[in-house]
Amino acid sequence: MNSDGEARRHVTLTLLLVFSFAFVGCPGGSKQGPGANSANTAPAPSPASSATVASSPFDSERALTLVRKQVEFGPRPGGSAQLEQTRNFIIGELKSYGLKVSTDEFHPRTPLGAKKLVNITAELPPSVPPSFIDTPSHNVIIISSHYDTKLFKKFRFVGANDAGSSTAVLMELARVMATAKTDRRFTYWFVFFDGEESFCEEWEQCHNANPADPKTPLPDNTYGSRRYVEQLENRNELSRVRAMILLDMIGYKDLNFGRDDLSSTWLLDIVWQTARELGYGSIFEDRIEGVGGDDHEPFLRAGIDALDIIQLSNYRSPSGEEYWHTAGDTLDKISGKSLKIVGDVMLASLPKIEARLESKR
């Protein structure tokens, strides 16, 4: 990547333009909780400054602290006491940002017996005054991540990237959007899915009985997202959800994404184009990334446009040591800079996603 002054200056100007559009008013927000550092509230950089990433309120240090906090709880598989502690931490944070938080506890059958799983949703209403809203405020954009970690008995798996990184970025996005006066015409649901990971070692190794349709056994993965879509159907709310964005494994120091082959093309196009405009074209590559299943699938099956941003196939060391689902998925692989790149790309993409959804009505 080139780092000459001109390129940097261009990125700075682009960021300033993008964020001056996206953020109305002062982007300070509350700085309480982990990573709080009031000394960091520097004024917005002038175009001559080299502090390019300082121009959005997404706090890289704070996000990294949120990853560390999760890792400190230890392995966090669905149904574990450690995940319960993590959940209480997440809920406490979300409430401290002023968000309305709800939980949905359910007890699915798994290959290891019934497990207590809990999805978490934090709701953020539109910020545009009602008289100016021409999009009914019941229209929802979901931004999501799973927060459980994969169960491994043979080694200690703390899931710094999978799913510590995306859980942290989702929390920091929620904080920024709730406190930084973003101009939003949609309701946002920040959704933390439980039970994304399979309880058996491999993703499709096991299945669960399906009493409603014995010939079609249920998968041993994506418990939380399948439950979420089911609940939306039951409440007759599927049509409220206009787009679903999933973050998964987004904190690696050597950040690099391909386009997930299942995701909705228009969502991929907007996010990848935005990344290029912010100077991250070498990170958001145009190659295809085969993911083979994730929490966006149940939404796609239900007819909801969805996007998965995931670094799956190349989460490994330069010498080829695999970090995905290994003991190597630890905090030292994660950088605050990477977390912020994804956060900034998301924040700059959302106004365009909203505009596109409004134009499609």
> In angstroms, what is the minimal distance from the CB of 294 to Zn ion?
9
Tokens 């019941």 appear where?
138
Indicate the residue among 69 and 150 with the shorter CB distance to Zn ion: 150
> In angstroms, what is the minimal distance from the CB of 333 to Zn ion?
14
> In angstroms, what is the minimal distance from the CB of 313 to Zn ion?
13
> In angstroms, what is the minimal distance from the CB of 245 to Zn ion?
18
Q: With CB under 5 A, what is the number of residues at the site for Zn ion?
A: 2
Question: Considering only CA atoms, which of 71, 74, 90 is closest in space to residue 334?
Answer: 71
88: amino acid identity, one letter? N
Q: Nearest 10 degrees: CA dihedral of 322, 325, 331, 335? A: 70
Per CB under 5 A, the segment of 162-170, 268-276, 281-289, 296-304 that binds Zn ion is: 162-170
The answer to whether residue 220 forms part of the interface with Zn ion (CB under 5 A) is no
Indicate the residue among 93 and 162 with the shorter CB distance to Zn ion: 162
Q: How far apart are CA 15 and CA 7, in angstroms?
A: 12
The number of angstroms, rounded, from the C-alpha of 189 to the middle of its chain's C-alpha atoms is 11
Per CB under 5 A, the segment of 107-115, 159-167, 268-276, 327-335 that binds Zn ion is: 159-167
> In angstroms, what is the minimal distance from the CB of 229 to Zn ion?
20
Indicate the residue among 197 and 354 with the shorter CB distance to Zn ion: 197
> In angstroms, what is the minimal distance from the CB of 312 to Zn ion?
9
Residues 180-219 that bind Zn ion (CB under 5 A): none
- Report the residue number whose CB is nearest to Zn ion: 162
Q: How far apart are CA 339 and CA 347, in angstroms?
A: 12
Indicate the residue among 96 and 314 with the shorter CB distance to Zn ion: 314
> In angstroms, what is the minimal distance from the CB of 289 to Zn ion?
15
> In angstroms, what is the minimal distance from the CB of 167 to Zn ion?
12
Indicate the residue among 60 and 149 with the shorter CB distance to Zn ion: 149
Indicate the residue among 294 and 344 with the shorter CB distance to Zn ion: 294
Indicate the residue among 162 and 308 with the shorter CB distance to Zn ion: 162
Which two structure tokens, joined as six digits, stand for 148?
Answer: 């459980």
Residues 115-134 that bind Zn ion (CB under 5 A): none
Per CB under 5 A, the segment of 95-103, 157-165, 255-263, 301-309 that binds Zn ion is: 157-165
State how beta strands 207-208 and 218-219 pair: antiparallel
Near Zn ion by CB under 5 A: residue from 59, 148, 162, 294: 162
Counting every residue written for the chain, the total comes to 361
Query: Ramachandran region of residue 125, left (φ > 0), alpha (ψ -120 to 50) or beta?
Result: beta
Tokens 């966090």 appear where?
76
Q: Nearest 10 degrees: CA dihedral of 209, 244, 280, 331? A: -50
Per-residue x/- track, 137-156, Zn ion (CB under 5 A)? -------------x------
Q: How far apart are CA 122 and CA 98, in angstroms?
A: 10
φ/ψ (deg, to 5) at 13: -65, -40
Omega before 163 within 30 of 0, i.e. cis? yes
Indicate the residue among 119 and 221 with the shorter CB distance to Zn ion: 221
Beta-sheet strands, E only, within 94-186: 100-106, 109-110, 113-114, 117-124, 140-146
Indicate the residue among 294 and 354 with the shorter CB distance to Zn ion: 294
> In angstroms, what is the minimal distance from the CB of 159 to Zn ion?
7
Question: Considering only CA atoms, which of 168, 152, 156, 166 is closest in space to residue 68?
Answer: 168
The number of angstroms, rounded, from the C-alpha of 224 to the middle of its chain's C-alpha atoms is 15
Q: Which residues bind Zn ion (CB under 5 A)?
A: 150, 162
